[in-house]
Every structure is written in structure tokens, then in C-alpha cells.
Structure 1
Amino acid sequence: MLSSPHFPPSPTIFHRREIVRDEIKKNINRYGSFASPLLLSSPRLGERLLTVSSQRVMGLSFSNLNGEHNGSSIGPSLGDIPESCVACVILHLTPPEICNLARLNRAFRGAASSDSVWERKLPSNYKDLLDLLPSERYRSLSKKGVFALLSRPIPFDDGNKEVWIDRLTGRVCMAVSARGMAITGIEDRRYWNWIDTEESRFHVVAYLQQIWWFEVDGAVRFNLPPGTYCLSFRIHLGRFSKRLGRRVCHFEHTHGWEIKPVRFSLSTSDGQEASCEYYLADKEGEQTGRESWRDYKVGEFVVGCSEPATEVQWSMKQIDCTHSKGGICVDSVFIIPIDVKERNKRKGGVK
């Protein structure tokens, strides 16, 4: 009786992942230890790379995946993966991960520099951001270079506003300096002063000594990409300075914020509105974490389409003139995509 031919068993998912891990480990010595944290921590990514490449590279079979051929190991390596396959996979990675993978080999490096990959990472309105810059700064750049350029703050409106894209998500973020807002009494130095500081991205903050009518208003019109955005104020009770290299806070002017809450509000050109109230200090006049900057969330708004441009207006006011209030620094207003805001919230406190 003729015996049936013996075929090697198909590898299970578990075995395939073990094969992938072994293959990646073999390539670590060749491509550097930086391959370990990303690929070994994500066997699905490595498995997908090897699976896709096995469909594109001639001569690969299940026996290759098992790493067995006449007793020798000739399994696929990272160097066998076609650049087009790599490009399909890295579209699902974040920009920092793409840059790390570019160090593996030539195929990864070529795919990680592809304009088709980086254009997918840019926001839909990235050309509006480029219009804020001189054309010679981006005319000869690749899409990867454009992404790197736009991930740095781009000032506009006499430097009182900045826009940039988040390096992890490619989402558009914006900040507006206190100098770009209308502050009641800002011209009178009995009430307000400008303080130069490295603690602000604009290098200057507005400091209130004392006033009865406290009001800060602002507005911006911009072609924001579709999405949900969060608007917040960055505020600091008291003023600060450096003495002998140490940061020192002064609260001699800080008063009145525990008597009545401050009202925050925002509105958009398409009719969206949000408002809230915060006591900036508790009944004893203290603020939790009073020696640090705090972000006070005003609300959220939704942009459905980049055209026409969305106008956002906001205000912060405490206009009860029965008592004075003072001792506060106003830095800026941030307009940040909600997912980026939530990620930042996990890193630092947000009111």
C-alpha cells in the first residue's frame, strides 16, 4: 500500500507569532536594538509584515514560515519585505513610529519617506497652514518635511496667535496669547502689567494687580479641519519670579476669587455655545496647586467642514463690582482637538 505523502502542519496563530518573534530577534543584531521595543511589543505588526511579504516574495511557503528546509533555516527576513508592502502597513502607525521603523533597512526607509504615506498623516487643510509661511520655506520640501515643518508653532496675527499640528495625530492645534485678546483696563498700569517669562509659549503674560470689572474677550477665524475641539484658558494665581535660580511665587495681590465664580463662555459662527463657572480659589482664598499653571476648560465645539472658516469667540469675566479682585496671570487660550486634549490631560491636571 502506498503511503500518503507527509505535509508539514500549518502553523497555528500561536506558532506564527513565535516564528515572528524569532525572526525579529534574529534581525535585531543586524538592524539594531531599536527594533526590539516596537516590533517585539507588537507581534501583530510583525506577523502582518511577514505574512504580506510572504505573498509577494517568490519561493516562500509554509515550510519557510516554519523555518525548516532540509534541516536548515531559510525563513523570510525583514530584508525580504517589499517597500510597497511596508508602505501599506506603516499607514496605520503614528509618525514617531514610522520614523523609528525607517531605521530598520532600505525598504522601511524608502516607505517611511514616501509622500503617499506622509500626505495621509497631514491634516486636510495643511495648505492653509503653509499659506501662513513664506513659500521658500516649504517649496522644495517632501511631504515628510512639510509634516516636520508644520509640527512646529507657526505664528500669525503679529505673533499673537500660533497654529501647529500634533506630532502623534497630525491634528491642528492653536494658541492665542493674552496680547491677542481684549482685556478691560489693560492700558492702565494701575490695574494690569505685562510680565516677560519663559513659562509662556509667547514669552509674556498679563498680570492683574487689582480691578473691579474683570473681563477678557477674544476671537479667531480659521479653516479648522472637521472634528471636535476643546477651548481652555491657561491661568496662574499670583505672580512668579526667580530668586537665586529658584522659582518663587508671590500672592500679595491675590484676592477676591473666592467670593464669586468667574464665568467662562464660548460661541461659534454656526451657533454653538458653551459656558461654565469656576471659583479660582476656595473659601480660604487658596487654590489647589496655586503655585502652578492651570487649564480651565470652557467647552467643546464641533467643526463639520473646513469651508467656510469657523469663527470662535470666547470670554472670561467676573463683573460683580461689589468687591475687587486681583493677583492673577492670564497666559493664553488653547483650541485643541478633544482627543489630543484627553491625552494631555492624562499627563497633567486640567480643571
Structure 2
Amino acid sequence: MDPKMGVKSCGDINDLPQDCLANVLSFTTPEDACRLSAVASTFRSAAESDSLWELFLPSDYRDIISRSIDGSESLLHEFQSKKDLYLRLSDHPILIDSGHKSFNLEKGSGKKCYMLAPRDLFINWVSQRWKWITHPDSRFSEVAELTVVSWFGIRGCIKTEMLSFDTDYAAYLVFTTNSTAFGFDDVPAEAYVGIKGFEMKKRSVYLKGDTEFLTRREDGWMEVELGECFVKGGEDVIVMTLLEVKRLNQKRGLVIQGIEIRPKKCT
């Protein structure tokens, strides 16, 4: 008993088992755990432990990796620790489902991110007005290049059960334009993102020009946000659509790498 307080001492935090400390850290984020390990030696060993990073990895990560075109065995055994595997999945997207999707983790939170390749999208006139080409900066083996068309529609779908629950997601068209591109400057396209079967909010976006809508990515591609959707859970389907049907002028030169869906960052 403490002679002054009359209360039994609970001991020092340093006396707690590593698994217990790892469990405490699991209620933070991967980013917070790394910061704590840098400033508090008490947490350093727990913050590097496999037991912690197993909790930060998605519960179905083995199933996702098993769908990799590189083979699950090589990915699972290539890394000496679960933290190394987590960082690999954060920094380098893996191709899954016959190379028609890519998967990675949002580094700071561990939330799931996907990109749907053009082969995994429904594109109007794809066999007549688009052609399949390779691109040196694409993560996919093929991208879709628009030859010439007067209107177009692009749609992708993803099941909510594939994503992280209780998360605000945003969908982005990832694209570029070639040197012959025209027809996208002055007319916005219409974008819709939402749960299938429910009303979706329309968003107007531009695919060319210096506008607030476009962002240049670190990989050299451009992206434009199509909309956002809160993923609560369940077995719903998120539909992501881009349409340009109002102005029937000729358009060409759009190059699509895919539609990416990732957690919406708070600002």
C-alpha cells in the first residue's frame, strides 16, 4: 500500500508484457504507432512486433494476396516481419484478379484501396471507338485510349465488402491525354458515385485544362474526383460513373488507366 494515498501501486508500464502493449497500440493507427515508438522507448519493441502489425493488416489480407498475379507464396514469405509486409502493401500496389485490379493500403491508416483497370470497367463503344495500348507508366498491362467519339460513358463497380468499413471513400478517374487530344476543354462531364439502387448526387468535372478539379499524381498521371460514398458495411455495390453526352462534338486522345477508390482524406 502507498503510505500516503492508501492505494495499492499498479506497477510501472514497463512491466507490462509486449503483447499487452501491442494490444494498446492497436487502438491507434499505424502512423501513430510509429510516432510513439520514436518518442517512447517503452513502446518501441511492441511497435515493431508481428502481433501489432498483424492487427493493422486487413483481416482478409491473405485472401487478397492469394489473388495476386505474382503468387501468394512469394509475397507472404518475402518479408521477415508483418511490418515489412504492411509497408510493401502500402508503397507498392499489387495486381490481383488476373491483373484487372490493383490493391494497396493507405499508409497512415491501413485502409484498403483499389484501382479498377480499364478491362474491369464498362466503357461505351470500347470495341469501336477505343483501342487497347500499353503505357510505360501504367501499373496495368493495358490502358484504353479514345480514338474518336461524340459521347462516352465509363462505369465501374465494387462490392462494399471488399473495402474498409465505417470509412468515407472517394472515387477518382486516373487518366492522361495524348498529343492529339481535343474536345474536352469547355464542357464538363457528369460524374455519379453511390450505392447501387439509391439516388446518386451529380458532380460536374472537367477532363482538360487548368481547373480545380484536376490533380497531378506522383506517378505522373492525372486524376479527377468523381464523388464519394460512406462505406458502413454490408453487401452493397458502389457504382462509379462518368458521362459526357450533352455536347455531341468529336473527342479523342483520352487515355484511361482506371478508376481508383480510396479513403477520403479529411481537410
- Distance change >3 Å, CA 211–CA 141, structure 1 → 2: same
- Structure 2: any 5+ residue segments left out of the alignment? 1-9
Could you list the per-position Cα deviations for residues 239-266 of structure 1 after superposition, in whole angstroms to 9, with x for gaps in the alignment?
1xxxxxxxxxx2xx32222343211112
Task: Establish whether residue 315 from structure 1 lines up as the match of residue 226 from structure 2.
Answer: no
Aligned to 1:328, what secondary structure does the other structure show? Answer: strand
Report what 1:273 is aligned to. 200
Is the contact between residue 235 and residue 295 of structure 1 (CA under 8 Å) also seen in structure 2? Answer: yes
Q: Kindly, what percent of the aligned residue pairs are identical?
A: 25
Counterpart of 2:154 in structure 1 is 216
Q: 1:295 to 1:322 in 2, by over 3 A?
A: closer
Q: CA–CA distance in 2 between the matches of 1:82 and 1:221? A: 41
Looking at structure 1, the residues matched to 171 and 196 of structure 2 have their Cα atoms a distance apart, in angstroms, of 15
Q: How many Å apart are 1:98 and its aligned residue?
A: 3.5
1:124–1:157 CA distance, 2 compared to 1 (3 A): closer
CA change 1:290–1:174 in 2 (3 A) is: closer
Cα offsets for 1:130-166 (capped at 9, x unmatched): 5535664549986546535644434333211122222
CA separation of 1:266 and 1:290: change in aligned 2, threshold 3 A: closer
Q: Which residue of 2 aligns with 1:229?
A: 169
Judging by fraction of residues, say which structure has more helix.
1
Partners of 1:272 and 1:142 lie apart in 2 by 45
Structure 1 pair 156–272 and aligned structure 2 pair: CA distance change class (3 A)? farther
User: Which protein is bigger by CA-based radius of gyration?
Assistant: 1
Q: Which amino acid aligns with 1:121?
A: F
Give the distance between the partners of 1:171 and 1:315, measured in 2 at CA.
23
SS in 1 for 2:252: coil
CA distance in 2, matches of 1:267, 1:87: 37
- Give the whole-Å Cα distance in 2 for the aligned partners of 1:301 and 1:127: 26
Cα distance in 2 between the residues matched to 1:311 and 1:290: 27
In structure 2, the CA distance between the partners of 1:97 and 1:116, relative to structure 1 (3 Å rule), is closer
Cα contact 1:274–1:298 (8 A) shared by 2: no
Structure 1 residues 289-327: Cα deviation after superposition (integer angstroms, max 9, x where no partner): 89963221111111112x32x312222121246421112
The whole-number CA distance in structure 1 between the counterparts of 2:206 and 2:73 is 48
**In structure 2, what is the equivalent of residue 183 of structure 1?**
123
Q: Does residue 198 in structure 1 map to residue 136 in structure 2?
A: yes
After superposition, give the CA deviation of every residue in 1:191-229 in whole Å (9 maximum; x if it has no partner): 322232232222432111211121212222251221111
2:4 paired residue number: none
Structure 2 CA distance for aligned equivalents of residues 166 and 279 of structure 1: 26
Does residue 303 of structure 1 match 2:239? no
Q: Number of matched residues?
A: 244
TM-score of the two chains, using structure 1 as the length reference = 0.57
After the TM superposition, which residues 53-202 of structure 1 pair with which residues of structure 2 at under 5 Å, given as runs? 55-56=11-12, 84=18, 87=22, 90-91=25-26, 92=28, 94=30, 98=34, 101=37, 110-126=45-61, 128-130=63-65, 132=67, 136=73, 138=76, 143-144=82-83, 147-148=86-87, 150-151=89-90, 152-188=92-128, 191-202=129-140
Structure 1: distance between partners of 2:17 and 2:192: 50
Question: Which range moves more in the overlay, 262-271 or 159-168?
Answer: 262-271
CA contact (8 A) 2:207 2:224 kept: no
**Equivalent pair of 2:25/2:47 in contact (CA under 8 Å):** yes
Query: Which whole-Å CA distance do the structure 2 matches of 1:290 and 1:324 have between them?
Result: 25
1:196–1:122 Cα change, 3 Å: same
Root-mean-square deviation (CA, aligned residues, Å) is: 3.7
- What pairs up with 1:246-261 in 2 under 5 angstroms? 250=179, 253-261=180-188
Farther off after superposition, 86-95 or 268-277: 86-95
Distance 1:142 1:271, change over 3 A: farther
3-state SS of paired residue (2:127): coil
Higher RCO, 1 vs 2 (CA within 8 Å, ≥6 residues apart): 2
Q: Kindly indicate whether the alpha-carbon contact (under 8 Å) linking 1:218 and 1:314 is maintained by their aligned counterparts in 2.
A: yes
CA distance in 2, matches of 1:109, 1:338: 30
Unaligned stretches of 5+ residues in structure 1: 1-53, 58-79, 240-249, 344-351
CA distance in 2, matches of 1:222, 1:156: 17
SS at match of 2:187: coil
